[in-house]
Amino acid sequence: MFSITTFGELLKSLPRSDFERLVKRHDADKYCKRFRHWDHLVVMLFAQLSGASGLRTLEKTFNHHEQHHYHLGVKQIRRSTVSDANENRAETVFREVVDYLIGKVARCLRSDAKEFMYLLDSTSVTLKGREFDRWTKSNSTRNTQGLKLHVLLDARANVPAWHAMSPANVNDVTQAQTMPLAGNALYVFDKGYCDYNWWDKIDKAGSIFVTRFKKNCALNSIEQRPIPPDARDLVLADEIITFRHKKNSGRINHYDRPLRRIRVIREGKQTPLILATNDVTSSALEIAQRYKERWDIELFFKWIKQHLEIKQFFGRSENAVRIQILTALITYLLVAIYHQIHGAGKTMWETLSLVMASLFSPHNIGESYYRRRKRELEEAAERQMRLI
């Protein structure tokens, strides 16, 4: 009797029918005879979860589990086929799968979140050496060479809400300006996103931002707000300010409304943090705490770099690197949904470890969530029929 594996249970969050609709939308499998996008995705997910160190290891370990291929909808692979697909196949479908899962996570994990708080930042993926230099050296900076992964993290669910990739020399705020803005949300980001006209767009979208002023920012203080006694050990000043100049770096500054400047003591450092926000109602301590929570996105980047495969790559072309990074995000989102359903009392790392250790073992965490849900719906329908 067939018993679903842990890998199969994980893939239930990405129904094959929905995936094929994404493929059909772009006619992506038009010239594929055997190794289609589904095969490609499953193999790359297996690479992330099995810890394969290269294409040779990936080929041997994946083909070793041939008895499970039928139920996953795949066949045996050759490393040359995977290499060619990573080299030549467009990243479009992989990117859309990330967006599909982000939407699914929004429904599954954020339903009870009272406040939409987003953390924005980027991390560098260093790519140097043979073949990498061919396409990364021209876009390198003094500090890094490779790609940047830009992520907007949902702070309450700890999952990406938006993502993008760019060359290493693209300014963070330039990429952020392509990000769709939500209303009634809170955006937290560091001073690398200092663009007053972008702040203006966030404010006009009906959202709040918390960030930092740069040292050379020319401001006029128009009001000193009182500091509550319980905040005096941390907050040095709380002011309402306006910009002194109508132009910034030669461009017209469209932000013409008052802002709030809060000076906060930094433990172990002489210079204070100078926070900027358009939130004029929350307390200074609340705003300082929100900026402190920005550290969660640094922990997210550290987590995926430690536990997923985005340091060693199975191909050295830009396309291969992008597909592997997107697959890492897909893996994280699938594990996040799996963790929500089956990981009660466990951390994300513990859930990932269990998935990796039992990838092709029978999934024995009670009745499958999806089968249980189907049974409950059938029972509810049957009770409804009795009432008619």
Which of the four pLDDT bands, split at 50, 70 and 90, describes residue 88?
Answer: very high
Which of the four pLDDT bands, split at 50, 70 and 90, describes residue 385?
Answer: low
Q: How far is CA 258 from CA 82, 272, 280, in A?
A: 55, 22, 9
The residue whose two tokens read 């705003």 is: 287
Q: How far apart are the first and last CA of the chain?
A: 38
Look up residue 358 and give its two tokens: 């039992």
* pLDDT for the residue 217: 86
For the chain, what are the domain ranges? 6-93+312-378, 207-284
pLDDT at 251 over 60: yes
- Amino acid code (one letter) for 123: T
Which of 29-38, 62-71, 361-370 shows the lowest mean pLDDT across its residues? 361-370
pLDDT (average), residues 43-61: 94
Q: How far is CA 71 from CA 2, 41, 61, 101, in A?
A: 9, 15, 17, 22
Which of the four pLDDT bands, split at 50, 70 and 90, describes residue 105?
Answer: confident
Question: Could you give the CA distance from residue 67 to residue 74 in angstroms, rounded to a whole number?
Answer: 11
Residue 192 burial class via C-beta count within 10 angstroms: exposed 0-12, middle 13-18, buried 19 and up: middle
Q: Are 347 and 158 in contact (CB under 8 A)?
A: no
Q: Are 173 and 151 in contact (CB under 8 A)?
A: no
pLDDT at 207 over 70: yes
Strand partners, 208: 186
pLDDT digits (tens, 9 = 90+) for 228-242: 988 888 999 999 999
How high is the mean pLDDT of the chain?
89
CA angle, 378 as apex, 373 and 382 as ends, to 5°? 145
Q: How far is CA 146 from CA 86, 140, 321, in A?
A: 17, 7, 10
Exposure string (b/e) for 203-230, b if CB count within 10 Å is 16 or more? beeebbbbbbbeeebebeeeeebebeee
DSSP 70: H
* pLDDT for the residue 298: 96
pLDDT at 3 over 80: no
Look up residue 257 and give its two tokens: 């409304």
Percent of the residues in the chain that have a pLDDT greater than 90, as a whole number: 72
Q: How far is CA 44 from CA 155, 192, 217, 244, in A?
A: 27, 33, 47, 53
* pLDDT for the residue 311: 87
* pLDDT for the residue 372: 62
Q: What is the pTM of this model?
A: 0.89
pLDDT at 60 over 60: yes
* pLDDT for the residue 67: 92
Spatial neighbors of 240 by CB under 8 A, at least 6 apart, are: 221, 222, 223, 225, 258, 259, 260, 261, 280
Q: Are 5 and 67 in contact (CB under 8 A)?
A: no
pLDDT (average), residues 87-105: 93
Hey, what's the torsion of the CAs at 68, 70, 72, 76, to 10 degrees?
Answer: 80
